[in-house]
A = this chain, B = another copy of it.
C-alpha cells in the first residue's frame, strides 16, 4: 500500500511538533489528534514569535486552513 502524507503525520501522535501558521506565528506542542482537514489538537502548547515564547496555551484546537506546515520538534 502506498504511503500517504497523513500516514507520516500519524507517526507524530504523542510527540512534539512545530506548527507554522499563516499568521507568521508558531505553535509548539504534543500532537494529540488531527483530521482530514488538518484540524489538530496539541497539548502543553506554546505560541512562539521569532523563536521567543509569547504565550503558554495548554490544549489548543487549530483550524487546518491556517497552517502552512508541520515539522517534528
A binding-site residues for B, Cβ under 8 Å: 2-9, 21-23, 27, 32-35, 38-41, 45, 57-72
11 A-B interface contacts by CB (under 8 A):
A4-B35, A5-B34, A5-B39, A5-B61, A7-B33, A8-B32, A22-B66, A45-B71, A60-B70, A61-B70, A65-B65
Interface of A is mostly: strand
What copy number does this chain have within its complex?
7
Q: Which residues of B contact A7 (CB under 8 A)?
A: 33
Closest B residue, CB atoms, query A62: B69
Partner of A68, one of B6, B9, B23: B23
Q: How far is the CA of A64 from the CA of B37 in the complex (A)?
A: 11
